[in-house]
Amino acid sequence: MLQVAGGGLVVGAGAVGAWQWLAPEVKKTGMDGGAPVRAAKTSTSASFVHVIAHPDDSLYFMNPELEQSILSGAPAVTVCLTGGESDGRNALSKSRGYEHMPMKRPEFVRARINGFREATAQMATGNSLSPWDVETLRLLPGFEVELQTLRAAPHVQMIFVELIEARSLRYPHKDSLRGLWLGATPKLTTLTPTASPVTRTYQYGRRQLIDTLAAVFERYQPTVVRTLDPNPAHLAKQPDYRNTPPVLEGIYSHDHQDHTTSAFFAQAALAEYWGRKHSRPTAVESYVGYEVDVLRSNLDKATTDRKITFLDIYGWADHGKNCGDPAGCGDRKVGNLSATKYHGWSSNCRHRAPGTMRWVQPLPDGRLAAFGILDGAAQCWTERKAGSGIWSAPVAVGGSMLEGQIEVVRHQDGSLQLFSVRTVLPVNDKPHRREVVTALQTGKGPGGAPAFGPWQSLDSPEDDPRRSMEMGYPVAVVGKDGTVFVFVRDYDGGISFRSGTGGNGWTGWTALPAAGPRTRLEDGLDAVLDGDGRIHVVAADTRTVHHWMSQGSDGPPRPAAPTRLPATTGPLTLAPLTGGGIRVAMRQPDTSRIVVADRLTDSWKVSAECASISGYGRVALAQAGTATVLAARDGKGLVRLSAGSGRPGPWADEGIPHRGMTGMTQDAKGRTVAVVLGMDGRLSSARHTGSGKSPFTDWLSHDGTTQADLES
């Protein structure tokens, strides 16, 4: 029996084929005689859908989070839009006799599918040859796709749509996902792999592909949707493709055109899905693709080596392995090159939206308010009682097609202001673009929760809609005189800002002066007000950290002296120090070790290197008196806490799963509070007590349940 109860999937031990609960039509033809699927032995309120373009995309760019979601026992479904057929030659392009090999695209597609599912089976079961059940699935009338279910772990599924790929990294072919998105072609055909239960080809229009993905979301009711990067960085030198039709003209990026467009289709399908009735809200995460090859590695060696283990299975690096399919057991174009040629892809896992810790803020009555994005709209949770850690259900505070995490600032009167980024999809003759948006608190709503006015567009530093797609995510700070400054990474790799007195009456976008020659900043900048009322902004490139500082208590920041700090993996977090100065937390490349640096006078100095917990991503940092509190993701995807006097202390042993960036603020008693959103969209929090055997309280879920209660 399969139930939908309280927003959670519960699969009973007697279920057979329970995954077909929302399938309009399923036809089993699979391997091993179509043996019934063993029921999942799990109960979870989370569900994951991964939308990718090619069969190796999630292995390179979403792992280790792909593996963590699979091992959680929650439904983990991957939708692959193209076959990735390339030229149909399953060999390295420079191998001997390559140009004389026959083009066998249906066989190569099947070999890539085999490699992908073997790597996935290894993650889920420890056996790469664990069998799958293969069947057809009808998501739209008249269209069939291939559905695969891992028999030993049936919460793991794959859906293959098998549209033809672009067959080029950037060249503007009309017969491609990009051509379909832009309207250069009205239909895109599928390519049927060998031995597929789908026995014919189909032609998808733009609307039909969007509806197909929306049907996937309806089928699985995901709490987390993962996509590739919809906003990759552009190439410094744009290629010149002669005679390109105007409809296919554009800005060429570091990423594969199929990656970017698959994310666009996912966004459009989510907009469609969110407009329909569904049982539980969805968060979205997007992952940087080929661009990581020009960035520093943000995974440590152990995590990278584990990723490469799965990638070598996908690449059929063990040529003696026999998977029982004459089409092939993996993608020999990748082969065993994930540790060498493709090491930049293997040694990174980067979210496009880095988030900040400022999505949690205190209210004047001492309660905390937390803000997140679910179903593309802003939501607000409030503590039921100050210091309780028990939260209300989320209340919608508006917005649409918002991305990343909400940035929240607190005005001098205690009112709040929200910032985010909104994507405007290209419908009704509107250009495809992104813009910064803000909403200002107008008063109180039911239960004393903050109420907000309408969301206002702050536009983008870029007049060209195509350039606006590359804009970063906002960070904001309130100056000593009440002026709000909002900063974003711009198309040129610098920082642009707007300011407004009291969060109103905004100036136009202005670029901060460059901090140095040839500086191209990564997203993940941060801003803070120090004890003297000066605004500080920091951002990193691949070589060092750059610093801007206002000259007094008003006016925009200007470049400060070089920090001479070592390279980082991108996102930074600033905090003012008691008694003057500022502190920054960051991660080292290659090791992912967390490093803390201080600016006490006119120069920066590394003051602490924390014990390694692996992991990656931004670090939350708070200074409360002499206490330094950190929160960071570890190598298992758990949030870990650290506290010490004047500098970081040892890491707490216990952590909990989470998504996005940890929120951190002080409560009415001056205690540092860490807040996280779970994969199921529920809040948990812990407080720094500074006393006893553990300096933190237990993690408390939104309803007062501890993590120990949940595990028991």
User: Over the stretch 299-319, which tens digit does the pLDDT of each residue have?
Assistant: 999 999 999 999 999 999 998
Task: With CA atoms as reference, report the closest residue to 201 among 167, 166, 162.
Answer: 162
The single-letter code of the amino acid at 651 is W
- Tell me the pLDDT band of 37, cut-offs 50, 70 and 90: very low
Contact between residue 516 and residue 566 where contact means Cβ atoms under 8 Å apart: no
DSSP 563: -
Tokens of 620: 């939350």
Q: What is the mean pLDDT of residues 355-371?
A: 97
Task: For residue 295, tell me if it sits in a domain.
Answer: yes
Phi, psi for residue 513 in degrees, rounded to 5: -60, 145
701: Cα separation from own chain's centroid: 23
What does the pLDDT read at residue 18? 27
Task: With CA atoms as reference, report the closest residue to 324 among 227, 411, 195.
Answer: 195
Phi, psi for residue 484 in degrees, rounded to 5: -95, 130
Q: Which residue shows structure tokens 């379909």?
A: 180
Has residue 381 got a pLDDT over 50? Answer: yes
- Tell me the pLDDT band of 94, cut-offs 50, 70 and 90: confident
- Out of 346, 379, 410, a domain closes at 346
CATH code, 194: 3.40.50.10320
Tell me the per-residue pLDDT of 131-185, one tens digit each, with 9 for 90 and over: 999 999 999 999 999 999 999 999 999 999 999 999 999 999 999 999 999 999 9
What does the pLDDT read at residue 44? 67
Q: What is the mean pLDDT of residues 644-660?
A: 93
Tokens of 375: 């179903």
What does the pLDDT read at residue 566? 97
Tell me the per-residue pLDDT of 558-604, one tens digit each, with 9 for 90 and over: 999 999 999 999 999 999 998 889 999 999 999 999 999 999 989 99
Q: What is the mean pLDDT of residues 49-71?
A: 98
Tokens of 658: 């989470």
Task: With CA atoms as reference, report the closest residue to 564 among 595, 513, 606, 609.
Answer: 606
Tokens of 559: 């470049």
Question: Is the model more confident about 211 or about 712?
Answer: 211
Under 8 Å CB-to-CB from 598, ≥6 apart: which residues?
577, 581, 582, 583, 584, 604, 605, 607
DSSP letter string, 455-515 = -EEEE-S-SSHHHHTT----EEEE-TTSEEEEEEE-TTSSEEEEEEETT-SPPPPEEPPPS
Task: With CA atoms as reference, report the closest residue to 175 among 183, 185, 167.
Answer: 185
Q: 402-410 and 416-424: which strand pairing?
A: antiparallel
Q: 402-410 and 395-396: which strand pairing?
A: unpaired
Q: The whole model's pTM is what? A: 0.93
Task: For residue 300, tell me if it sits in a domain.
Answer: yes
Contact between residue 430 and residue 423 where contact means Cβ atoms under 8 Å apart: no
Cα→Cα distances 611→24, 419, 599, Å: 52, 34, 22
- Tell me the pLDDT band of 708, cut-offs 50, 70 and 90: low
Under 8 Å CB-to-CB from 352, ≥6 apart: which residues?
229, 230, 231, 286, 287, 288, 404, 523
What does the pLDDT read at residue 712? 52
- Tell me the pLDDT band of 4, cut-offs 50, 70 and 90: very low
Tokens of 678: 């779970």
Phi, psi for residue 549 in degrees, rounded to 5: -150, 135
Question: Is the model more confident about 424 or about 38?
Answer: 424
Q: What is the mean pLDDT of residues 220-229?
A: 98
Has residue 12 got a pLDDT over 50? Answer: no
- Out of 346, 363, 392, a domain closes at 346
Q: What is the mean pLDDT of residues 442-466?
A: 95
Q: What is the mean pLDDT of residues 653-660?
A: 93
What strands lie across the sheet with 510-511, from one edge to the other?
475-478, 483-489, 495-501, 510-511
What does the pLDDT read at residue 565? 97
Task: For residue 546, tell me if it sits in a domain.
Answer: no
| Alpha-carbon span 132 to 324, nearest angstrom | 13
Q: What is the mean pLDDT of residues 26-45?
A: 40
R_g of the chain computed on alpha carbons? 25
Has residue 639 got a pLDDT over 80? Answer: yes
List the alpha helices (DSSP H) in 400-477.
465-468
Cα→Cα distances 593→30, 572, 648, 695, Å: 46, 13, 13, 22
- Tell me the pLDDT band of 229, cut-offs 50, 70 and 90: very high
Q: What is the mean pLDDT of residues 328-353?
A: 97
Q: Does a cis peptide bond (omega within 30 degrees of 0) precede residue 64?
A: yes
Tell me the per-residue pLDDT of 234-285, one tens digit each, with 9 for 90 and over: 999 999 999 999 999 999 999 999 999 999 999 999 999 999 999 999 999 9
Has residue 413 got a pLDDT over 80? Answer: yes
The single-letter code of the amino acid at 192 is T
Report the percentage of the chain scoring pLDDT > 70.
92
SS3 109: helix
What does the pLDDT read at residue 702? 81
Has residue 36 got a pLDDT over 70? Answer: no
Task: With CA atoms as reference, report the closest residue to 281 among 7, 529, 60.
Answer: 7
Task: For residue 621, tell me if it sits in a domain.
Answer: yes
Task: For residue 18, tell me if it sits in a domain.
Answer: yes
| Alpha-carbon span 60 to 54, nearest angstrom | 11
Mean of per-residue pLDDT scores for the chain: 91
Q: Which domain holds residue 61?
A: 2-93+101-233+254-346
Q: For the chain, how far is it from start to end, CA to CA, in angstroms? A: 24
Q: What is the mean pLDDT of residues 335-347?
A: 97
| Alpha-carbon span 686 to 674, nearest angstrom | 5
Tokens of 341: 């040629």
Has residue 692 got a pLDDT over 80? Answer: no
Q: What is the mean pLDDT of residues 606-633?
A: 96
Has residue 672 got a pLDDT over 70? Answer: yes
- Name residue 666's beta-bridge partners: 672
Tokens of 323: 């998977």
Report the percentage of the chain scoring pLDDT > 90.
85
The total number of structural domains in the chain stands at: 2
Task: For residue 360, tell me if it sits in a domain.
Answer: no
Sign, CA dihedral 257-617-65-591, equals positive
Task: For residue 631, tell me if it sits in a domain.
Answer: yes
- Tell me the pLDDT band of 654, cut-offs 50, 70 and 90: confident
- Out of 286, 320, 346, a domain closes at 346
What does the pLDDT read at residue 171? 97
| Alpha-carbon span 609 to 592, nearest angstrom | 11
Task: For residue 459, tell me if it sits in a domain.
Answer: no
